[in-house]
């Protein structure tokens, strides 16, 4: 197999894993992943040691787009409070998509249940980075307890994502006032 063919197969496997695991769950079988990617199992195992490694690589591959879609640009000069509210506005927009199943990183962690699973480790790191963003903004905005506020914000983010993902609630009209109340309580500018 040529390098170009392997690269193409790898990309198709990563895309199939991202699509199928988000839609159908991480329990999706290797046969279904390979069929969707148009790749043989042998090729898959030449590219990835295991399905677990493929899942982790797929989540890693999606991370940059996830961050770009949620976070304000680094050169965004809005005050920290507005930068935090931006994240929740972006998340609300994402949740309105008909195929929204919740935050793919939270969903993976919940489904896998094993914090040592390679995909769980990727998901945890992505979620820790979002919490760190909240903490940095909370510090810059003069929050009375930036660590606590960051933990509260990720709790609201994940809870709202989970509720929207199971179609139990929408974020519209609820999330912004909830986040604003937390920011006010923390004396956040």
Label each residue of the chain as H, E or C: CCHHHHHHHHHHHHHHHHHHHHHHCCCCCHHHHHHHHCCCHHHHHHHCCCHHHHHHHHHHHHHHHHHHHHCCCCCCCCCHHHHHHHHHHHHHHHHCCCCCCCCHHHHHHHHHCCCCCHHHHHHHHHHHHHHHHHHHHHHHCCCCCHHHHHHHHHHHHHHHHHHHHCCCCCCCCCHHHHHHHHHHHCCCC
Answer for the pair 108, 51: CB distance below 8 angstroms, yes or no: no
What is the distance between the alpha carbons of residues 149 and 155, in angstroms, rounded to a whole number?
A: 10
pLDDT (0 to 100) of residue 77: 94
pLDDT of amino acid 84: 97
The arithmetic mean of pLDDT across residues 72-81, rounded, is 94
Domains in the chain and their CATH numbers?
1-48 (1.10.10), 52-185 (1.10.357.10)
Instruction: Give the residue with greater pLDDT, 35 vs 2.
Output: 35
How high is the pLDDT of residue 89?
A: 93
Provide, rounded to the nearest whole percent, the portion of the chain with pLDDT above 70. Answer: 95
Q: What angle do CA 183, 185, 189 make, to 5 degrees?
A: 45
**pLDDT value at position 170?**
63
Model pLDDT, residue 189? 82
State pLDDT tens for residues 100-122: 999 999 999 999 999 999 999 99
Contact 69, 90 (CB under 8 A): yes
pLDDT at 6: 57
Predicted structure pTM score: 0.91
């Amino acid at each position: 197999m040529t390098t170009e063919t392997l690269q193409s197969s790898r990309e198709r496997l990563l895309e199939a894993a991202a699509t199928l695991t988000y839609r159908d769950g991480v329990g999706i079988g290797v046969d279904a992943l390979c069929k969707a990617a148009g790749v043989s199992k042998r090729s898959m195992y030449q590219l990835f040691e295991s399905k677990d490694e493929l899942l982790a690589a797929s989540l890693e591959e999606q991370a940059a787009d996830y961050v770009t879609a949620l976070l304000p640009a680094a050169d965004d000069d809005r005050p920290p409070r507005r930068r935090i509210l931006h994240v929740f506005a972006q998340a609300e927009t994402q949740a309105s998509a008909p195929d929204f199943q919740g935050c793919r990183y939270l969903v993976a962690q919940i489904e896998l249940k094993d914090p040592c699973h390679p995909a769980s480790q990727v998901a945890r790191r992505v979620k820790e980075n979002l919490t760190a963003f909240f903490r940095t903004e909370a510090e810059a905005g003069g929050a009375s307890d930036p660590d606590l506020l960051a933990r509260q914000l990720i709790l609201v983010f994940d809870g709202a994502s989970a509720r929207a993902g199971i179609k139990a609630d929408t974020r519209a009209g609820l999330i912004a006032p909830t986040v604003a109340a937390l920011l006010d309580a923390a004396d956040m500018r």
